[in-house]
């Protein structure tokens, strides 16, 4: 049985994602597709525009056979940790043979060359990056400059987010000595950060922007037709959309209740960032305004977003590294699957190397203490996300227990 893995956010699922799945199946000849997907909070340090169950259904209707959740501790972390967690989940299924990712490059050889340098870190690379950092450059820029110097790798390879994630996937495969084979599909037409919709292929960023301005017709022109009813129901019932500024009240509460010492213990709050965070409230209130106030040459905007989100979610460094030291994800949480592909679920439950959760009510008998610690935090994260909705039903607590696995 040939099973292909895809690492995803589907925020939201669109025609570009459908193209990637179709091309991946065609190129690999796989029998089944498993997507590991961010839950209600995503890698940019934001809440997902639609909840994880809505996005799971969209994926299952468009070529994915099973969706597995990336725990929030790692779905909201840097590319390195996000990627390693996703790869470890795929490895721990015991049934995934290949991984396919979209890239701006489209050439697996080029991405593998970059990954090899970053994984092995030869002496000349270390010296070059140290020199670049001494200029006060942000780490991503210094790393890109060093690669160009020692291997003539163009800066754009590390300036495009899908390339970066692809490189991190391959590094993670090497790190855990996995036999999963990587392949890539060239990203079509729309750039990851493009905010315009000019064809049926558009970025998730653009689609979110059009939904934000209530131009739903244009936004929906770039999504599969079988997703329109799903998204329309979520919008009409006021379960969605959810945006980062919806977290502003939570954020102000948490910062006002926090000391410098507490903030220093939060993941991604480093090198005096806690002082700028505390000062920001004298000038700002909204999530995005606070990020703008805090940003500097030293930190990318996305890193700031992640730090701010981690304050809201109380994601502390000690807990994060405890999970890393114990293998990253402590379980495989199945968000949904396609009934015609039930053999995938059957094989997963037989061959998985860590506990498989299909019914949340069974976690107390399935998980050890550290696994329960991770999942109980996930329950809290979902409660925070749910509270952002205008829908009274959506705002109910403990939705992890009341929302069933998606089956189509």
Helices of type H across 67-122: 72-75, 79-93, 108-120
Task: Using the 3D structure, point to which of 94, 127, 159 is the last residue of a domain.
Answer: 159
- Condensed to tens digits (0 to 9), the pLDDT of residues 188-221 reads 755 555 678 988 999 999 999 999 999 999 999 9
- Specify the pLDDT at position 127: 95
Q: How far apart are the first and last CA of the chain?
A: 22
Please name every residue paired with 3 in a beta bridge, in sequence order, or none if there are none: 32
Is 176 a domain residue?
A: no
Q: Are 91 and 23 in a shared domain?
A: yes
Task: Using the 3D structure, point to which of 320, 349, 378 is the last residue of a domain.
Answer: 320
* Nearest in space to 155 (alpha carbons), one of 165, 145, 164: 145
pTM above 0.75, yes or no: yes
Is 274 a domain residue?
A: yes
- Condensed to tens digits (0 to 9), the pLDDT of residues 148-179 reads 899 888 777 877 888 989 999 999 999 999 99
Q: Taking the CA atoms of the chain, what radius of gyration do you get in angstroms? A: 21
Q: Are 96 and 147 in a shared domain?
A: no
Q: Are 87 and 188 in a shared domain?
A: yes
Is 303 a domain residue?
A: yes
Per the CB < 8 A criterion, the answer to whether 351 and 95 are in contact is: yes
Q: Are 153 and 284 in a shared domain?
A: no
- Specify the pLDDT at position 192: 52
Q: Are 28 and 96 in a shared domain?
A: yes
CB neighbours of 60 closer than 8 A, spacing ≥ 6?
Answer: 67, 336, 337, 338, 406, 408
Q: Are 267 and 389 in a shared domain?
A: no
Would you call the peptide bond into 340 cis, given omega within 30 degrees of 0 as the criterion? no
* Nearest in space to 27 (alpha carbons), one of 108, 112, 114: 108
Q: CA 135 to CA 387: how far, in whole Å?
A: 44
Count of domains forming the chain: 3
Q: Are 216 and 228 in a shared domain?
A: yes
Per the CB < 8 A criterion, the answer to whether 91 and 328 are in contact is: no
Q: Are 133 and 254 in a shared domain?
A: no
Domain limits for position 300: 244-320
Task: Using the 3D structure, point to which of 301, 320, 339 is the last residue of a domain.
Answer: 320
Is 293 a domain residue?
A: yes
Is 90 a domain residue?
A: yes
Q: Are 141 and 290 in a shared domain?
A: no
Q: Are 94 and 202 in a shared domain?
A: yes
Backbone φ and ψ for 115, nearest 5 degrees, come out as -60, -40
- Condensed to tens digits (0 to 9), the pLDDT of residues 9-23 reads 999 999 999 999 999
Q: Are 287 and 388 in a shared domain?
A: no
Is 115 a domain residue?
A: yes
Q: Are 140 and 60 in a shared domain?
A: no
């Amino acid at each position: 049985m040939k099973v292909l893995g895809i690492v995803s956010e589907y925020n939201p699922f669109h025609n570009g994602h459908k193209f990637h799945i179709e091309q991946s199946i065609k190129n690999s000849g796989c029998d089944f597709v498993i997507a590991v997907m961010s839950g209600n909070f995503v890698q940019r340090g934001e809440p997902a525009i639609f909840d994880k169950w809505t996005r799971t259904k969209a994926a299952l209707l468009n070529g994915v056979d099973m969706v597995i959740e990336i725990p929030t501790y790692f779905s909201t972390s840097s590319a390195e940790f996000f990627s390693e967690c996703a790869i470890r989940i795929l490895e721990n299924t015991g049934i995934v043979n290949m991984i396919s990712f979209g890239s701006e490059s489209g050439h697996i050889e080029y991405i593998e060359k970059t990954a090899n340098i970053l994984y092995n870190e030869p002496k000349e690379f270390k010296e070059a990056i140290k020199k670049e950092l001494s200029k006060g450059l942000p780490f991503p820029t210094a790393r890109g400059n060093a690669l160009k110097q020692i291997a003539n790798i163009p800066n754009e390879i590390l300036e495009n987010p899908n390339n970066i994630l692809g490189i991190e996937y391959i590094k993670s495969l090497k790190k855990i000595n996995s036999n999963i084979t990587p392949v890539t599909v060239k990203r079509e037409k729309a750039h990851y950060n493009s905010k315009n919709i000019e064809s049926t292929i558009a970025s998730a960023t653009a689609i979110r922007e059009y939904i934000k301005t209530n131009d739903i017709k244009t936004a929906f022109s770039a999504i599969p037709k079988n997703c329109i009813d799903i998204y329309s129901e979520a919008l009409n019932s006021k379960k969605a959309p959810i945006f980062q500024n919806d977290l502003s009240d939570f954020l102000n509460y948490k910062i006002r209740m926090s000391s410098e010492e507490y903030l220093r213990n939060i993941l991604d709050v480093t090198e005096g960032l806690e002082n700028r965070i505390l000062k920001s409230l004298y000038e700002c209130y909204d999530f995005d305004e606070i990020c703008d106030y805090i940003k500097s040459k030293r930190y990318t905007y996305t890193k700031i977003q992640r730090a701010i989100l981690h304050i809201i979610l109380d994601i502390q460094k000690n807990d994060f590294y405890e999970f890393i030291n114990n293998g990253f994800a402590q379980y495989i949480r199945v968000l949904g699957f396609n009934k015609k592909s039930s053999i995938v679920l059957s094989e997963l439950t037989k061959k998985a190397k860590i506990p498989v959760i299909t019914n949340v009510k069974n976690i107390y008998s399935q998980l050890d203490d550290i696994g329960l610690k991770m999942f109980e935090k996930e329950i809290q994260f979902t409660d925070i996300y749910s509270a952002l909705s205008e829908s009274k039903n959506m705002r109910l607590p403990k939705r992890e227990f009341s929302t069933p696995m998606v089956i189509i």
